[in-house]
Structure 1
Amino acid sequence: MTTPYTDDDLRTEAARQYAEVLRAPDRLEVGDEMRDQPVPSQNGSVRWGQLSCDDFHDARNEVHELLDSAVDMSAWSVNLGARHLKTTTELAWGRGGDAWDLAVQIAHRPGLSTELRDALTTAIRGAVNLVLDNRELNDTHLLHDSSKETAR
């Protein structure tokens, strides 16, 4: 059975709710807050609250799980904002898709030229790839020894 929403829809909604919690921590209730929001992949034609009861409750529970598993980067984020830095890009390595094992986030002052931002991203990607290549790690084995990997 297919659902009327995607994994990206769930992540977008979780991120929206996370941002709302930072703005108004007393207001957010997972589920109630998302009822009137559009499902992103439905191009604004469907709201979460218009889904069947089962689909809505499943989506609400999955969003709640995403919020529960979100890494607390609040101090890092506040420090970036206090220094008026903006995020530039994500660099990610891992098993492909959303199965990241390593990610690097770049932050910069507003007004950084596109050329410099691209040069920094390329240099960081090259440096990480060099280290991985020197250790003969590829995307399917990055940072993992599957025989020693612990359950979460």
Structure 2
Amino acid sequence: MFNLPYTNDDLRREAARQYAEIVSKPDLLEVGDEMRTRPIASTAGGKPEKATTWTQLSGDEFHDARNEVQELLDDAADVSRWAVDLGACGLRFTSELAWGRGGDAWDLAVQIAHRPGLSNELREAITAAVRGAVNRVLDDRGIDDTRLLHQHTSEEPAS
């Protein structure tokens, strides 16, 4: 994307927010109507109240962004059963481990979930063990392709 007032991360954040809304409000049908008044995170400059909203984009920019969000929703893996099972067991999303070309181009991702109250030390140890196991398998198989060199970790609570 060049010269756009939003980023890929903004589109993914909006698609994820709408995905969660769709799960909680199944009668939500129109992507564009839902996102109009929402802020575009990358435009906030550290001040959420100063963020541009999607509806403040030009007509073509909004239309393109809405279509891209719809495509992200259409392409989203159906992990609803997994998410329901995690919630039913009281588990929370802990971390994401990804290997790939870098940025948003992942070739492999592992999700970890845990019960609330798991110590940070134990969570970090488990995450490191999973990372090490995957790296060991890649090394043992001689996989050193640059497509699998990038490692990304982040931590977000489950919704």
In the alignment, residue 134 of structure 1 is paired with which amino acid? Answer: D
Higher relative contact order (CA 8 A, sep 6+): 2
Pair 1:4-2:10 in alignment: no
In the alignment, residue 118 of structure 1 is paired with which amino acid? Answer: E
Please show how residues 101-140 of structure 1 align to structure 2 within 5 Å.
101-140=107-146
Q: Distance in 1 between matches of 2:104 and 2:28?
A: 30
Higher strand share: 2
Percent identity, please: 68
Runs of at least 5 residues in structure 2 that lack an aligned partner in the other structure: 149-159
Aligned to 1:21: 22
Q: Which of 57, 62, 83 is equivalent to 2:68?
A: 62
Q: Do the aligned partners of 1:93 and 1:102 also contact (CA within 8 Å) in 2?
A: yes
Evaluate the alpha carbon distance shift between residue 94 and residue 139 of structure 1 in structure 2; reply closer, same or farther with a 3 A threshold.
farther
TM-score, L = length of structure 2: 0.86
SS of equivalent residue, structure 1 residue 25: coil
> How many residues get paired?
142
Q: Distance in 1 between matches of 2:57 and 2:118?
A: 43
Aligned to 1:148: none
Aligned to 2:38: 37
Aligned to 1:76: 82
Partner deviation per Cα, 1:23-77 (whole Å, 9 max, x = no partner): 1010341101100000110114210001000100000000000000000000000
Q: CA RMSD in A?
A: 1.1
Higher helix share: 2
SS of equivalent residue, structure 1 residue 61: helix
In the alignment, residue 64 of structure 1 is paired with which amino acid? Answer: Q
SS of equivalent residue, structure 2 residue 64: helix
Runs of at least 5 residues in structure 1 that lack an aligned partner in the other structure: 143-152
SS of equivalent residue, structure 2 residue 6: coil
